[in-house]
Amino acid sequence: MNGFLRETAADLLDRYGDLRGLTVILPNRRAGLFFVQHLGQLIDKAQWMPAVKTIEDLFFELSGQRPTDQLTLIFELYKVYQELQPDPEPFDRFYYWGEMILKDFNDVDQFLVNPNKIYQLLSEIKEIESDLSFLTDGQIELIKQFWKAFENEGRGHQDKFLRFWQLLLPLYERFNKELDVLGMAYSGKLYRKVAERLDELEKPNQRYVFVGFNAFTGTEEQLIKRFISEFEAEIYWDLDAYYTQNKQQEAGLFFRDYRKDKVFGPTFPKELPQYIQAKPPKIKVYVTPLKVNQANLIGKVLDEMPSNEALEETVVILPDEQLLFPVMHQLPEQIDKVNVTMGYPVRNAPVYAFLEAVLELQRYVKSDDGKVSFYHQAIKELLSSSYLKAGKEEFSASLLANIQEQNQVYIPASKLAEGGSLFELIFKKLASKDIFPYLEQLMMALVERLGDDKLQRSYLYQCHKQLVRLKEIFHSQGHVKISLEFFIRLFRQIFREVRLPFEGEPLAGLQVMGVLESRNLDFKRVIIANMNEGSFPPSGAMNSLIPFNVRKAFGLPVQEQNDAIYAYTFYRLLHRAQEVHLIYSTSSDQGKVGEKSRYIQQLMAELDKWIEEEVVFVPVDVKPAEPITIQKTPEISYLLSKYVLQEDGTSVTAFSPSALSVWLDCRLKFYFQYLANIREKDKVEEEISAAVFGNLAHYSLEYLYKGFIQRKRRNVIIKDDFKDLENYVSPSIEKAIRDFYHLEEDADTSLSGQLAIVRDVLQKYIFELLELDKSSAPIELISLEKDMIYRSAVPIEVNGDHYAVALRGIIDRVDKQNGVVRLIDYKSGKDIKSFPSISSLFDREDSKRNKAAMQTLIYGLLYQAKFPENKQALKPAIFNLREIFNEDFNPYLQIKEGRSKGEELENYLDHKEEFEENLKKLLGEIFDQTVPFDQTDDLEKCKYCPYKEICGR
């Protein structure tokens, strides 16, 4: 197709014939490559080609120098800053706004701004802003509400603030002198150097042609005007009347100004081209719900291309490079050639994420008595990487399981090193001086792991190349101290800009490129993804220390100019296109709802009759979640049969009191938890939750009393025994912690942080509990927690059959006091001990149903089943650890209706018949084929349910 570059090449050939005397200057190398291709296609005989350069090449050639890399420049800037600032901050704090200062210096020079004037003005503005002497007290108070620094920091802070702005001019002057001595320069300095010496330029022996420019910097404008007026240079403008003549169109902002210029004006064609209005392209706008859907849509559009059409005439523009790989994976099979003209950020590569995670690991290293350990979350992130667990899957899985089982927040380096050489290399404490050799060693180890994975090896090569560069610069700047924290931040900053350049045949196949790479290129079919406001055009204010109004007053670029450049880049893609496909998504990004680009809005207002819009749906069920009801099928009946006594008197499993409580709360939750066996995912508890605290209390009390029985060889505790028991409280708690976290006998159990606080709190509770027991002594201990599992079978009749349903339970403590058997349940919460009636314990509609009371009464049933000959009273009791300090503490259940005084439940056996009747009814429901597993209607119960996502509650 005839595009701008091809027509320009044809015109130059037609006018000059022999092109050896021409030098063609283009905005970028990509345009130059296509220009040379078009010339080659147009020439029918051997001849010299013109010199083809970029505007940047021309400036560097005329200055006789190339710019120094940015990191070195910032180091040199910091040296000068240290000389000028009496109390300079460290380099790691300076670096991030040092970049901003350097960018401002570059702009000041690129646009030929007088540095004395702009920085002097800036300093005076800041002085006026901080001088409140001319304000009344009321006005000052009002200002203080907005700027607390005046109120809190005092005059010293203001002075430092002002000194910084006053420093910018001397910093600029001294820095430039220092660069002259060192033979260094930033690009703006070189541009200014050329622009200020234009009078010294000798007439070149080549004729210069400037092709395809849209917006000049001040230095570029001066140079090109000089070449036009003095050296008969020419300009070929790539523009359209559609946006140039319409003052409302930001895309023509620069062209309108240049047409009025006495030097540039005559270079414009008398009749501006009218590609867009004369032959408007067919424009189709697509709306997708998710970003990733855009890749599928691009693949679909490409699949519909005619098979005989040249791939080179189609371009895919990706404003967001993260879509590159999704798009590449969705390309149709018939597209066998692709040229990618955009660098893919290394920061998006898996190998970079791994290196960053290794460095991040060092931020959470813990050293105690020379023993190094690492934070569990950082370890998990590294173990999720294929680089570390490849070939060590069993070790990695075992390590993760141990971390979970033992609830390890910090894991010893010695344990991690058991995984092999790579584990040993990664999990060690780093000193700042070892960072560079360590990372080089790590990268070499990764090379061996990557094998033939060329793409990942390419990423790693780019990382290594950048690391070597960073190392050389740091070594040349010996005065800068490198802390680990600083290196991690610098690592991210530097590698953020590193891109993997893709190699391919640039002039063949489907063209995939970024926005700015498309300048001067024309395509028959244009596909642009991410046509969202904030993506194309990009959003974000310009990073600069110079305020907007000052920048605008001095002719420095502001957001308005940036918007105009991107608008032009978009509209010029419409010049020769026949089809334009614009895709945007409605998904939110960083808290913002997806909004179509202003360019789409403009096209719809101006070219509506040529635009078609299509909403691409992804099937989503937006109806409210249907109630879930699971009927009792034969398969479910089989699962339930595991809870029934078989002919041999045994069962596969048995219901616990908790299971029965869950059935009353929500039948569906009962199904998920006890029949489908859907369990919550375990996680490392960094904080001591109420559940963990309760478990530690149970373990501690069990070991305390069990130890007593073993030492004394008796199970009766008298008052004189409690002094001895107090000596074993601390060892019992330590053993509880060791067992709860599955620690080995010789494992270090030195307690710190929350666990140390929990230990102290537990001691207070247990000592108080001992005082309570002492007042009740003598006490005969019958069983302690895991010593005895109580079992029973409850006969029921349902579905025309008889069943014996198995129950089991672990009673925290069973003892005998004054001829009464106490069934004691330890609780760490505030469980209420009163309830209105036995039947209320089984009432699922009662939001205040007393679950704890029901549980302890089931203990009565279980105990009596274990000892059927028992005639002694069975008295359920709840020892709330939080309440044992109360003077009126009473652990026994009370049957209490409303505000009545209530009656203490002295003996389970007195209520046995009524309780078991209600229990049989409950168990009958569980096995009743007509009663499904359905959801509770009480949504309060769903708030903390682990299955609420499944239910859609």
> Given this model, what pLDDT does residue 947 score?
87
pLDDT of residue 148: 45
Q: Which range has highest mean pLDDT (260-269, 297-306, 752-761)?
A: 260-269
Average pLDDT (727-742) is 83
912: which residues sit within 8 A by CB, 6+ positions away? 860, 861, 864
Q: What is the mean pLDDT of residues 26-30?
A: 90
Number of other CB atoms surrounding residue 281 within 10 Å: 22
**CA torsion sign, 825 to 826 to 828 to 833?**
positive
C-alpha distances in Å from residue 430, one per residue of 418, 426, 669? 19, 10, 49
Identity at 738, one-letter amino acid code:
R
Nearest to 351 by CA among 456, 448, 453: 456
pLDDT at 530 > cutoff 60: yes
Give the phi and the psi of residue 406 in degrees, each rounded to 5.
Answer: -90, 0
How long is the chain?
Answer: 953
Residue pair 644/806 in contact by the 8 Å Cβ criterion:
yes
* pLDDT per residue as tens digits for the range 314-328: 999 999 888 888 898
Higher pLDDT, 139 or 487: 487
Q: What is the pLDDT of residue 546?
A: 87
- Mean pLDDT, residues 197-225: 94
537 upstream amide cis, omega within 30 of 0: yes
Position 156 pLDDT exceeds 50: no
State residue 902's pLDDT score: 81
Percent of the chain having pLDDT more than 90?
43
Closest by CA to 521, choosing from 573, 447, 556, is 573
Name which of 326-330, 465-469, 934-938 the model is least confident about: 465-469
| Max avg pLDDT among 364-378, 488-502, 827-841 | 827-841
- Assess contact for 895 and 837: CB atoms under 8 A: yes
Structure tokens at 469: 């560069």
pLDDT score recorded for residue 639: 92
pLDDT at 622: 47
Tell me what pLDDT residue 565 has: 94
pLDDT tens-place string over residues 647-683: 888 999 999 999 999 999 999 999 999 998 887 765 5
- Identify the H or E element spanning 835: strand 834-835
**Residue 366 pLDDT more than 90?**
no
Higher pLDDT, 825 or 321: 825
Does residue 778 have a cis peptide bond before it, meaning omega lies within 30 degrees of 0?
yes
Mean pLDDT of the chain, nearest integer? 85
Percentage of residues in the chain with pLDDT exceeding 70? 90
Bridge partners (DSSP) listed for residue 341: 513
Q: Model confidence over 704-715: pLDDT tens digits?
A: 999 999 999 999
Amino acid 516: pLDDT: 87
Model confidence at 146, in pLDDT bands (50, 70, 90)? very low
- The whole-number pLDDT of residue 150 equals 40
Q: Which two tokens stand for residue 828?
A: 């760490």
If we measure between CA atoms, which residue out of 514, 520, 511 comes closest to residue 36? Answer: 520
Q: What is the pLDDT of residue 779?
A: 92
CB 439 within 8 A of CB 465: no
- pLDDT band for position 541 (cuts 50, 70, 90): low
Buried b (16+ CB within 10 A) or exposed e, 223-247: bbbbbbeeeebbbbbbbbbbbbeee
Q: How many CB atoms lie within 10 A of CB 541?
A: 9
Q: Which two tokens stand for residue 649?
A: 């008197």
Structure tokens at 661: 């409580």
**Is the Cβ–Cβ distance between 945 and 953 less than 8 Å?**
yes
pLDDT score for 839: 93
Q: How confident is the model at residue 157 (pLDDT cuts 50, 70, 90)?
A: very low
pLDDT for the residue numbered 583? 93
What's the rounded Cα separation, in Å, for the pair 509 and 489? Answer: 40
Q: What is the mean pLDDT of residues 232-250?
A: 94
pLDDT band at 374 (very low <50, low <70, confident <90, very high): confident
- Give the separation between CA 194 and CA 847, rounded to whole angstroms: 84
* CA distances from residue 342 to 151, 322, 374, 523 in whole angstroms, order as listed: 50, 11, 39, 17
Q: Identify the CA nearest to 845 among candidates 664, 586, 622, 718.
A: 664
Rg (the chain; Cα; Å): 40
In this predicted structure, what is the pLDDT of residue 192?
Answer: 96
Contact 509, 330 (CB under 8 A): no
**What would the pLDDT profile of 113-136 be if each residue is shown by its tens digit?**
999 999 888 888 776 665 555 556
Residue 621's pLDDT is what?
A: 47
For residue 375, give both structure tokens: 């934070």
Q: Give tens-digit pLDDT for 909-937.
A: 999 999 999 999 999 999 999 999 999 98
- d(C-alpha 688, C-alpha 131), whole Å: 53
Residues 6+ apart with CB under 8 A from 321: 342, 343, 344, 345, 348, 514
Q: What would the mean pLDDT of 573-596 be, rounded to a whole number?
A: 82
Range with top average pLDDT, 138-142, 502-506, 619-623, 776-780: 776-780
Q: How far apart are the first and last CA of the chain?
A: 58
Give CA–CA dist 488/356, Å, rounded.
8
pLDDT at 666: 93
**C-alpha distances in Å from residue 710, one per residue of 207, 260, 706, 707, 778:** 106, 104, 6, 5, 18
Q: Of 98, 275, 72, nearest to 171 (Cα)? A: 98
Tally of CB atoms within 10 A around 416: 21
Band (508; pLDDT cuts 50, 70, 90): confident
pLDDT of residue 254: 96
Among 27-31, 43-47, 64-68, whose mean pLDDT is lowest? Answer: 43-47
Beta pairing, strands 22-26 & 51-54: parallel
CB 294 within 8 A of CB 323: yes
What whole-number distance in Å separates Cα of residue 175 and Cα of residue 168? 10
Interhelix angle 657-665/851-866, rounded to 10 degrees, is: 140
CA angle 360, 364, 368 (to 5 degrees): 145
pLDDT score of 688 more than 70: no
- In tens, the pLDDT along 511-525 reads 998 898 899 999 999
Indicate if the pLDDT at residue 215 is higher than 80.
yes
